[in-house]
Structure 1
Amino acid sequence: MQRALEIGERFGKLTVLREVDRKHGRQHYLCKCDCGNEKVVMKGNLFGGQVRSCGCLKKDNHQNITHGQKGTRLYRIWSGMKTRCLNKKDKAFPKYGGRGIRICEQWIEFNGFYEWAKSSGYKDDLTLERKDVNGDYNSSNCKWIPLSDQAKNRTNTPYLTYAREIKTLKEWSEETGIEYSTLHARLKRGWSEERTLSTPSLIKRKQ
């Protein structure tokens, strides 16, 4: 049997003020929250820990998790990343989660992603890029780059297979030293992947 509550006793952010009329035979107490609000709580819920504030604690915890960022561009970037990798119904899933692209454990919750973004120089004119487009979303494989720079590395860029390796056009340009525009033009003219990547170019990629 639960003991009687004492005036001034605390449960989380709630301080017991007095007992109020019983409801359905159960004891209820008027409590004052640290934020100043008052709330009537059933005795069993105080003892069991189900109620620890007037409701503000849940709100505070949500604000702490999202840092007040919900609805911002950074939050949308994080949400989009999760959708592409985890939601099988998303149209982009085959190019991300469907290819085995994963999100590191620290970024599954927004708090971890937010802290990394803050420390790695995020600005609203930058976008998230994976250094290795076949790699996962994590702090060692991701960086912030200007939006214009990401165009060459989008997941709708053709993946070319050569010497048993699969890479984007941008990656092959960097590896072969052939200009991205040259490789793109060759493919557009109908060249095979092997010919596109194995034929030397007189114009080398700018460093």
Structure 2
Amino acid sequence: MEGLKNLVGQRFGRLVVVSRAPKEPRKTAKWNCVCDCGSAAVVAGSSLLNGRTQSCKCKRVDFAKKAFTDHGKSDSIEWDVWQGMKQRCYNPNNSRYAICGGLGIRVCERWLESFPNFLADMGERPSPDHRFGRLDTRKDYSPENCHWVTAKEHSFNRRSTVLVEMNGESHPITEWIRRLGMNTSTVYKRLARGLSLVEALQPPKPRKNSAQAKSRSPS
């Protein structure tokens, strides 16, 4: 090991160097290490010396666990929702990946690595009847596009990508609601009463002023 600093026996964070790893052509020198957790790791000498690597990755895992469990919600429905959302978008083995990640649906940067951010934006589930959903199923998971909805409302939302034509324009129901400045629950209630999609999207008629009504009444 002439010209190479011998790191055998030295400790770097949770790692203790036990031997030199086989030399690879044109590669930086690497060392066989044993981590305090019992796992083995092969690490570049430069990473050990500059402090960039201090464990077999268990330190990173411990940090992540602490970050996501300090909030006391790791056994909650909100935690399960957050995990499921990421699985659907990034795990090709997930049963719903084809209709989420496979279609290019992603989780916003604010939520992707931070459950506390997700919880702060969405809040706790309002009731056992509520479920997590997107307003527009063609768009990503983000604070602007997600909400807690009842099963009935969620069922409606699954149909919300159906285009509704009015005034010579075609848009999904949710887009019409936004454009018209309507209350979503009002539209839900109208549909429940049997009104058509176009009828449900009609703005409410202005109420007559009681004073005007009296002035118009016969004397």
What is the TM-score normalised by the length of structure 1? 0.52
Contact preservation (8 Å) 2:110, 2:117: no
1:124–1:57 distance in 2 versus 1, CA, 3 Å: same
Q: What RMSD over aligned residues (CA atoms) do the two structures have, in Å?
A: 5.1
Deviation, 1:74, is: 2.4
Deviation, 1:60, is: 1.0
Partner of residue 65 from structure 2, selected from 58, 63, 66: 63
Deviations 1:108-161 (A, max 9, x none): 33xx2x121343362254654445555432234445x4x54x631444345351
Deviation, 1:11, is: 0.9
User: Take 2:121 and 2:201, find their aligned partners in 1: how far apart are those partners?
Assistant: 37
User: Take 1:180 and 1:40, find their aligned partners in 2: how far apart are those partners?
Assistant: 56
1:71–1:118 distance in 2 versus 1, CA, 3 Å: closer
Question: Which amino acid in 2 is paired with 1:47?
Answer: G
User: Take 1:54 and 1:98, find their aligned partners in 2: how far apart are those partners?
Assistant: 32
Match of 2:25 in 1: none
Match of 2:165 in 1: 162
User: Take 2:63 and 2:109, find their aligned partners in 1: how far apart are those partners?
Assistant: 20
Partner of residue 107 from structure 1, selected from 107, 111, 114: 111
The yes-or-no answer on 1:90 pairing with 2:92 is no
Deviation, 1:103, is: 1.9
1:186–1:201 distance in 2 versus 1, CA, 3 Å: farther
Matches within 5 A, 1:106-145: 106-109=110-113, 112=114, 114-120=115-121, 122-125=123-126, 127-130=131-134, 135-143=139-147, 145=148
User: Take 1:78 and 1:40, find their aligned partners in 2: how far apart are those partners?
Assistant: 30
User: Take 2:59 and 2:141, find their aligned partners in 1: how far apart are those partners?
Assistant: 32
Contact preservation (8 Å) 2:164, 2:171: yes
Match of 2:182 in 1: 175
Contact preservation (8 Å) 1:104, 1:138: yes
Aligned length: 179
Match of 2:45 in 1: 47
Which sections of structure 1, spanning at least 5 residues, go unmatched? none
Deviation, 1:77, is: 0.5
Matches within 5 A, 1:143-154: 143=147, 145=148, 148=150, 151-154=152-155
What is the TM-score normalised by the length of structure 2? 0.50
User: Take 1:97 and 1:180, find their aligned partners in 2: how far apart are those partners?
Assistant: 29
User: Take 1:28 and 1:197, find their aligned partners in 2: how far apart are those partners?
Assistant: 69
Which sections of structure 2, spanning at least 5 residues, go unmatched? 21-30, 208-219
